[in-house]
Amino acid sequence: MDNLSDALEKLKIASTDSATDSVESCLDCLLKALANNSTEASMKIHEMGVLPLFPTLLHPQSSCTPKVANIIAEVAKNEFMRSPCVEAGLIPPLVQLLNSTDQEVLLQTGRALGNICYDSHEGRSAVDLAGGAQIVAEHIKSLSQNTEPANEKLLTVFCGMLMNYSNDNDSLQAQLISMGVIPTLVRLLGIHSHNTALTEMCLIAFGNLAELESSKEQFASTNIAEELVHLFQKQMEHEKKEMIFEVLAPLAENDESMQKLFEGGKGSVFQRVLSWVPSHNHQLQLAGALAIANFARNDGNCIHMVDTGIVQKLLELLDRHVEEGNVTVQHAALSALRNLAIPVVNKSKMLSAGVADVVLKFLQSEMPPVQFKLLGTLRMLIDTQAEAADHLGTNGKLVERLVEWCEAKDHAGVMGESNRLLSALIRHSKSKEVVRTVIQGGGVKHLVTMATSEHMIMQNEALVALGLIAALDLVAAEKDLVGAGLVSVLHKLLSDERSAPEIKYNSMILICAVMGSEPLHKEVQSLAFINIVSKLRAHENKTVSHQASLTEQRLTAQS
């Protein structure tokens, strides 16, 4: 580090009398020190006030310029150096250098600007002010056809710079979109699909831009989907395939671009994707299933796909993965089925096709993502389908597994979905047999806990299910309801100002329903419910106030 201090001192003197040779050797010493210990060297450069010397050294005609830009790029890898770089006035001269024709100067300048912009508001604002993004976007456009390795390296740096410039910043992303960056990036993907670093950079840049509404218009006007599908088929690595899908997904959420690919189920991209599902390649199967899940974002598409026999293809795919289970394929195929089961008209068709039976084959899975989707799929299927809810709700093995998953503290998603399915089996079947199966399986206490969830929809589902349990088989459930502290939970829900009207209403219905049980009745009396209930008679919601009057009469009559 002593050499570094000397070099920095020398640089201060040399930079004033423009002695190029001594400047060059000082710069070499700086680069060496940065390669050795970037943080320490950067601090020293900052402390000794060398950054403000750089603007004069960044002269388009100077032979030192690429080295100086390289030093700035290395220094700016440290977060604490980005604001000082801006304050030292480095951005305007760097942006000027973007007009150079020297490839090395452009490469190092692109790196320096990209690193200064990384996660730095000051850096981005300064580049924006100096008009740097426009010049870089034009470079990318004019260099896009050239496939020489050196040029591809420069394109990669420039794409990276734009990505750092606009990441997480809607207004700068919108600016790039209005410069027409999207069609240029799509072109790059097509021309340079053999270059891993460059395609990866394009994909990340797409991922950034694809979130914005205004980008969807531009994406829809390009052949992005065809390029991505083409790229996907050439990919070998799993990570890269996932990246491509992360870009396709937000585009898929956008109806015009997705519908354009779907074309009423006749679109060439959609057809190609379908042909992947029966393939023997796990990657293609995964892609097909994920794409179906994405196409299944609106009722029209879902209904069309179920009518054209996609369910059968997905079931055959799942069947192949019960034994040699590839978790990602299982997860994707279950996601697709779950989405397809949303429209009411699809439910009975999918149940007749045997979806529930195939899905149940994965009950033994130890993988939380698969468990989560399996639960969601079953819950969607039985919604409003009494017969199916009855059939599944009397399946002891299923209920036993649900109760087990209701305790999966490490996996909140699985825990929540298990509770919701348990409640749904009771709510949609309204069957004494199902209630009995849930009581025997030990599910009652979980439904009482679910009534205390922070999600109102889950609280409500739990209360309705508990109401049905109390109405259909209070005697069998009594012990569990007492053990789980149901009455004090209801007391809390009714006393809480923040409880929604439907929660208050269903809690009072449940109070009335449990009055037929002696131990529960005693608890109700000991907690002085009458006081809270009589207050609720003045509730602004008519349904709540009416139920409060009825509940009060019931409490008074039986006290």
Q: How many Å is the Cα radius of gyration of the chain?
A: 32
> What is the Cβ-side half-sphere exposure of residue 140, based on CA atoms within 13 angstroms?
32
> What is the Cβ-side half-sphere exposure of residue 376, based on CA atoms within 13 angstroms?
19
pLDDT above 70 (res 222): yes
Separation of CA 497 from chain center: 34
- For residue 301, the surrounding DSSP H or E stretch is helix 299-307
Separation of CA 558 from chain center: 53
pLDDT band at 261 (very low <50, low <70, confident <90, very high): low
The candidate with the shortest Cα–Cα distance to 185, out of 162, 212, 153, 213, is: 162
Helix/strand/coil (H/E/C) assignment for every residue in 183-212 = HHHHHHHHHCCCCHHHHHHHHHHHHHHCCC
Q: How much is the pLDDT for 255?
A: 55
Q: How much is the pLDDT for 223?
A: 72
Q: How much is the pLDDT for 253?
A: 54
pLDDT above 80 (res 465): yes
Place of tokens 């390795």: 149
Tokens of residue 195, six digits = 């270059």
- Mean pLDDT in residue range 457-463: 95
Query: Rounded to two decimals, what is the model's pTM?
Result: 0.63
Tokens of residue 436, six digits = 């009995």
Exposed / middle / buried, residue 352 (Cβ in 10 Å: 0-12, 13-18, 19+): exposed
Which has the minimum average pLDDT: 41-45, 260-264, 364-368, 387-391? 260-264
Place of tokens 């420069």: 154
- 17-61 pLDDT, tens digit per residue, is 655 677 888 899 999 999 999 999 999 999 999 999 899 889 888
- Mean pLDDT in residue range 94-109: 96
Tokens of residue 481, six digits = 């309801």
Q: How much is the pLDDT for 238?
A: 63
**Percentage with pLDDT > 70 across the chain:** 90
Beta-carbon count within 10 A of 95 CB: 21
What residues have CB less than 8 Å from 299, skipping those under 6 apart?
342, 343
- 169-200 pLDDT, tens digit per residue, is 889 998 998 898 988 988 898 889 888 889 88
- 394-403 pLDDT, tens digit per residue, is 999 999 999 9
- 368-390 pLDDT, tens digit per residue, is 889 999 999 999 999 999 999 99
CB 362 within 8 A of CB 322: yes
